[in-house]
Amino acid sequence: MELDIKTTLRNACQALLRPIALVLMRSGMTWKEFSDLSKTVFVSVASDEFGIRGRQTNVSRVSILTGISRKEIKRQRELIGAGAPPASSKTTDATRLLSGWHQDPLYTNSQGDPLPLAKQGAAPSFQSLFDVYGGDTPEQTLIRELLAANSVESDNEGRYVATRRYHMPADMDVGNIRFLGTNLHDHAQTLSNNLSGEGAPKRLEGFAVDDRIDPESVDKFHEFIDQKGEQFLEDVDEWLNRHRLDETDSKKTSPVRLGFGVYAIQGDLPKGTLS
């Protein structure tokens, strides 16, 4: 049976969001924080991209497009105008506990740094900290998670020491996270441009993939694309440098951002998505 547009889109979103959700959870961001952020983005895009003759989209139409109430749209626009990040009312139990450890005067020293805490006993202890900030997660489960991620360590006296203000289940590099955002944005912008059918010139976007490759050829494949891809990107970089505006020219005309990206493909698509 032929799938309708919305079903196809939902399947595509599930495939798109899985690697993003993996990075978010490794970095300690909850679904609620992501939900709040996505609401702000929906309002921003609807406001900027669906207006008439270059004007900002009115509140009523933004509400129709996004399914968000008019009152909430006004609040979101105020946040966007102030440059404030969307506030989330829900974080992980681990991050809530670490935040309390860093902010509650009972658990900080005179310089505001988190105190080393005995595991048990009267406040200030880890047990008393957990009683206030631990949430629904069992204490031993929570401390195992914090220790495994190096968010908390044990010192020579057997006390717990906070090493992070926010729980990060896996070490993540800030620069690589920034690349995740910019690279996915650039690729998605090209796909969106090519799907819109609104008369914009099509941009080059393609891929070569096969799901019946001999597993013993994986290393050879990566050697092949590393060599070919690097050479092609060097050619692109050389072309861009030849057409780059100097400081004098930049004052006369507004520069345009251009580029080309390549990426390797390996692994199956998630179950339930379109292949």
Measured in residues, the chain has a length of 275
Residue 224, in any domain of the structure: yes
pLDDT of residue 68: 93
Helix axes 126-133, 139-148, angle to 10 degrees: 110
Domain of 112? Answer: 93-162
As a whole number of angstroms, the distance between CA 162 and CA 144 comes to 13
Phi and psi, residue 152, nearest 5°: -135, 145
Residue 167, in any domain of the structure: no
Contact by Cβ (8 Å): 143, 150: no
Residue 15, in any domain of the structure: no
| Total tally of structural domains belonging to the chain | 2
Please state, in angstroms and as integers, the Cα–Cα distance from residue 45 to each residue in 51, 174, 181, 228, following that order: 10, 26, 16, 37
User: For residue 130, how many other CB atoms are within 10 A of its CB?
Assistant: 20
Tokens, residue 136: 């629904």
CA 270 to chain centroid: 19
Domain boundary among 129, 162, 195: 162
Residue 59, in any domain of the structure: no
pLDDT of residue 86: 54
Contact by Cβ (8 Å): 33, 91: yes
Mode of pairing for the β-strands spanning 152-154 and 160-162: antiparallel
pLDDT of residue 89: 47
Q: What is the pLDDT of residues 175-229, one digit of tens each?
A: 777 888 888 999 999 998 888 766 778 999 999 999 999 999 999 999 999 999 9
Tokens, residue 51: 């207006």
pLDDT of residue 7: 86
Residue 60, in any domain of the structure: no
Phi and psi, residue 273, nearest 5°: -105, 170
Buried b / exposed e over 134-153, threshold 16 CB at 10 Å, is beebeeeebbebbeebebbe
Residue ranges of the chain whose pLDDT lies below 70: 1-3, 84-91, 170-173, 197-198, 249-251, 272-275
DSSP 116-131: PBBSSSSSSBHHHHHH
Domain boundary among 126, 147, 162: 162
* HSE value, Cβ hemisphere, 13 Å, CA-based, for 138: 3
Residue 52, in any domain of the structure: no
pLDDT of residue 91: 60
Residue 34, in any domain of the structure: no
Residue 109, in any domain of the structure: yes
pLDDT of residue 1: 44
**What letter does residue 216 receive in the DSSP assignment?**
G
Q: Which residues contact 99 (CB under 8 A, 6 or more apart)?
A: 91, 133, 165, 166
